[in-house]
Amino acid sequence: MSNFDDKLAQHISGISKEKQPERDLWRGIELGITSQQGDASQDDASSSTVTSKQWMAIAASVCLVIVLWFAAPFAFKAEESRSDGYALIDAMSMQQQQQVNSLLASYESTTALTEDWQEQLKELDDAADVIKAALKDDPDNSALIKMLHHVYQQQIALIERVHAPKWQQI
């Protein structure tokens, strides 16, 4: 064993096994387990609830497609000076906004698991704005478009996670 290994082993034996988090995590945990208990006690009702949620989601998607189908030509006409690439970004943003609004509406009566999720959502919004600003100069940049798409996906995932977490299996 080298000197360094000896030294490292000493440091490892001196490292603390415990570390306390800076914020109180119990509140979120309590909310999480309460929501699990609620889910368990509503087993019978859950299948119909899930089904109705799925139907709502399908209906919302169909409405969105119809709206985009009719709105897209007007949007393109109104912004003739813009390139086709940026019109696509506008359409993506509009679709995202509608999806976020419909998700938020569907979770209106559900308590969120964390307090700062709106702040996180705002940070993702800011990130999307920065990417969109870059896309104005370079609307066909596929890396930026992908990045914007990922940010939008993160927003949806965040809203779903804090309102209806899907617990992992151990």
Partner 1 sequence: MEHTQQRVVHANVVFGNKSENELISKAKKGDKQAFRSLYDEHIGRVYALCYRLTGEKGMAEDASQEVFIQLWKKLGNFDGQSQFSTWLHSVTANITISYMRKQKGWVQRMFNLENSGINEMPAEENSTDVDLEALVIRLPERARMVFVLHALEGYRHEDIASMLNMAVGSSKAQFFRAKQLLKDFMGVDDE
Give least dist CB 116 to partner 1, A: 9
Give least dist CB 153 to partner 1, A: 7
In this complex, which beta carbon is closest to partner 1, that of residue 21 or of residue 73? 21
Q: Are 93 and 149 in contact (CB under 8 A)?
A: no
In this complex, which beta carbon is closest to partner 1, that of residue 8 or of residue 67? 8
Question: How far is Cα 150 from Cα 128, in angstroms, rounded to an integer?
Answer: 9
Q: Are 148 and 92 in contact (CB under 8 A)?
A: yes
Give least dist CB 58 to partner 1, A: 25
Structure tokens at 17: 């096994």
One-letter amino acid of 99: Q
In this complex, which beta carbon is closest to partner 1, that of residue 87 or of residue 158? 158
Find how far residue 5's CA is from the centre of its chain.
Answer: 44
DSSP, res 20: -
Give least dist CB 126 to partner 1, A: 16
Binding site for partner 1 (CB under 8 A): 2-5, 7-8, 11-12, 14-23, 25-26, 28-30, 32-33, 36-37, 146-147, 150, 153-154, 165, 167-168, 170
Q: How many CB atoms sit inside 10 A of residue 163's CB?
A: 19
In this complex, which beta carbon is closest to partner 1, that of residue 19 or of residue 77? 19
